[in-house]
Amino acid sequence: MHDKFGNLTGTDLEGFHSGGDTEAWRRLGSHVVTVHDDARGDLSGTRFAVWAPNAQRVQVIGDFNWWQGDDMEFVPGSGVWGLWKEGVGAGARYKYKIQHRDGSWQEKADPFAFSTEVPPANASVVFEREHAWAPSEESWLAHRAQADPYHSQMSIYELHVGSWRKGLDYRQLAQELPAYLTWMGYTHVELMPIMAHPLEASWGYQVTGYYAVDPRHGSPDDLRVLIEALHAAGIGVILDWVPGHFPKDDWALGRFDGTALFEHADPRQGEQLDWGTYVFNFGRNEVKSFLISNALFWVSEFHIDALRVDAVASMLYLDYSRPPGGWVPNKYGGRENLEAIDLLRYINRHLYRRQPGVMMIAEESTSFPKVSAPVDVGGLGFGFKWNMGWMNDSLEYIKLDPIYRQYHHNEMTFAMVYAYSENYILPISHDEVVHGKGSMVNKIPQDDWRKFATLRSFYSFMWAFPGKQLLFMGQEFGQRSEWNEAVGLEWWVDSLQWHKGLRDMMREINHVQARTPALYELDSEPEGFRWINDNDWMANTFSWLRFDRQGGMVACVANFSPEPYPEYGLRVPRAGRWREILNTDEQRWDGSGEAANGTRIAQPVDGEEGAELVISIPPMAGVWLRFEPEATDS
């Protein structure tokens, strides 16, 4: 006799049922395992295990049994059905056939599958990892464990795998993407969700296979090759993760065993009206194990460096996008989802402890307090939060005709009121260039000269503002069309006038930032920033100082007016030499090149603190000048 459950016991599943199993993928799903038979010796096969406690009967069907079904049994002491099937190996396709309490049958994909068929087919696929990480990965992980992301440069390139260069698979991307990102000077790439999802137009945000890689572009091992190549090039990998909701496809997680298993049964808690999806039951122990294991799975098994958690606001609030009377208050009568809050704290605390150097990033659009504060001081435990307020305000500003910008000046300065309430990332993401919002360059009014000059000035404003930076692909070279995942980026324009100049300037901005600690080192600390003039609304001009921990200084100016200011005065802390390190109006970037500053000398002001620095500011341009102390300066 051999073990019919493939060495899986009820004791193994106790953690899953108690909410404390953080590696549940090792126990559930399909695994090629060897069992010992007293008469025949060691036998190879696949163990199948699925949580379906309310099912009347469960079978595994697949190409190994002509889709006819082998009966599974409850693993003693658990709500998990199990079966070890001899002779089944990697590549086998399968589903679970589940009989509900009313006698009806339904076929379901495996919630813990590591691989799936290419949509629209939806069978799960038995997968055995073959990829061995290169020795360089050990060095990368050791470096990551010692890194300090808060005081380091973080320039993030957000990317949709399927349309960056249409048709490339993970291994082809491994040949092209790291070189491009390195050349452009980005430090990180953020991949939109690459978990298995049936509808390409959902961009991965409606996940049906939380543990499976999107098979359109290759296998899990192919993805590992891409991640390894990015790490070898010094690029950190951020992955979007979607724990807030999941789609209603009848072959996936929804009503998995005929009951609301992963989701709340009450539609006022278990359905997301905006997206037509189900909401996870965050208080259920098995769902806790499922989600925390999933977060750890991507970080540990794929060496992902950060998870950007999508739609956190929808998890935090019970009344999120719900009509009056259409939601259930918490036990204190409030609107906060206490179970989701506890789960997020649990996940964040666990990942930071288990995976040194990992980052957790919240896409959270409200003023919920302490999102990026540690759990032990009452925070949610994220490392960073997207600054959606800054994004909305600044985009509304640049959409205006320059003559009207003076009346909206505070939209560009208001973010400093709350800049240090969280550790912020400034995002210009895919959401801002789809669904009729237009591309970045086409948000800006008037002719091409003004459009591209304004965009160059805006990027210089963004890269010198407190916070880390994120830009969605295609916006670095000014793609005119809004993004469409079905056709890919318009790479043919990046060698044309305006487009090439913008891309080359973005490359310069990243490289200048990398060698100028004042532009990133104190992003989350008040000591790193000081306004020079935040009230020059008549000139549509903003000026400020950035500092590093060693006393280095950079004066930053952004002009959003079509008027040049040939003698613009700045009050700076130190007299002496200030050298221009960026001017977005240079000819090589399709600017006029008529207002280069070179090195300027700031003159002391009698009887007053600081010095007066007079510079030339081109129209619709950004200028950065770095203070260069004399060798004898203390």
Candidates 354, 353, 331; CA nearest to 341 is 331
The CA distance from 176 to 287, in Å, is 38
Q: Say which of 158, 257, 286, 310 is annotated catalytic.
A: 310
Distance CA 611, CA 570 (A): 8
238-290 tens-digit pLDDT: 999 999 999 999 999 999 999 999 999 999 999 999 999 999 999 999 999 99
Angle, alpha carbons 212-48-197 (nearest 5°): 20
User: For residue 25, which amino acid is it?
Assistant: W
If we measure between CA atoms, which residue out of 449, 446, 447, 467 comes closest to residue 394?
A: 467
Per 3-state DSSP, the chain is made up of helix, strand and coil in percentages (nearest 5) of: 30, 25, 45
Per-residue model confidence (pLDDT) at position 328: 94
Q: Which residues contact 108 (CB under 8 A, 6 or more apart)?
A: 95, 96, 97, 98, 251, 252, 256
**What is the pLDDT averaged over residues 323-343?**
95
Q: How many CA atoms lie within 13 A of 93 on its CB side?
A: 10
C-alpha 60/C-alpha 44 separation (Å) is 17
Q: Is 567 a catalytic residue?
A: no
Q: Both ends of the chain: CA-CA distance in Å?
A: 82
Q: Which residue ranges form the domains of the chain, and what is each CATH number?
A: 11-125 (2.60.40.10), 526-628 (2.60.40.1180)
- The confidence score (pLDDT) of residue 633 equals 52
SS3 category, 328: coil
pLDDT value at residue 2: 60
CB atoms within 10 A of CB 25: 23
The half-sphere exposure of 413 on its side-chain side, counting CA atoms within 13 A, is 21
Q: Is the pLDDT of residue 192 over 60?
A: yes
Q: Which of 413, 454, 458, 409 is nearest to 619 (CA)?
A: 454
How much is the pLDDT for 184? Answer: 98
What is the per-residue pLDDT for 634?
44
What integer is the mean pLDDT of 99-118? 97
Reported as a single tens digit per residue, the pLDDT across 462-504 is: 999 999 999 999 999 999 999 999 999 999 998 899 999 999 9
* Amino acid letter, residue 444: I
Whether 363 is catalytic is yes
Report the C-alpha gap between 66 and 574 in whole angstroms.
Answer: 80
Rounded CA gap, 378 and 338, in Å? 13
Q: List the one residue out of 95, 114, 110, 116 whose CA is nearest residue 32.
A: 114
How many residues does this entry show for the chain? Answer: 634
Supply the angle between the helices 499-514 and 170-184 in degrees, to the nearest 10: 70
* AA identity, residue 167: G
Backbone angles phi, psi at 172, to 5 degrees: -70, -40
Q: Where are the alpha helices (DSSP H) in 209-278?
A: 220-232, 267-270
Residue of 21, 110, 190, 363 marked catalytic: 363
| pLDDT value of position 304 | 98
- 632, pLDDT greater than 90: no
Residues 278-305, mean pLDDT to the nearest whole number: 97
List, for residues 373-405, the tens digit of each pLDDT value: 999 999 999 999 999 999 999 999 999 999 999
- Banded model confidence at residue 606, pLDDT cuts 50, 70, 90: confident
Write out the H or E segment, with its range, that includes residue 511. helix 499-514
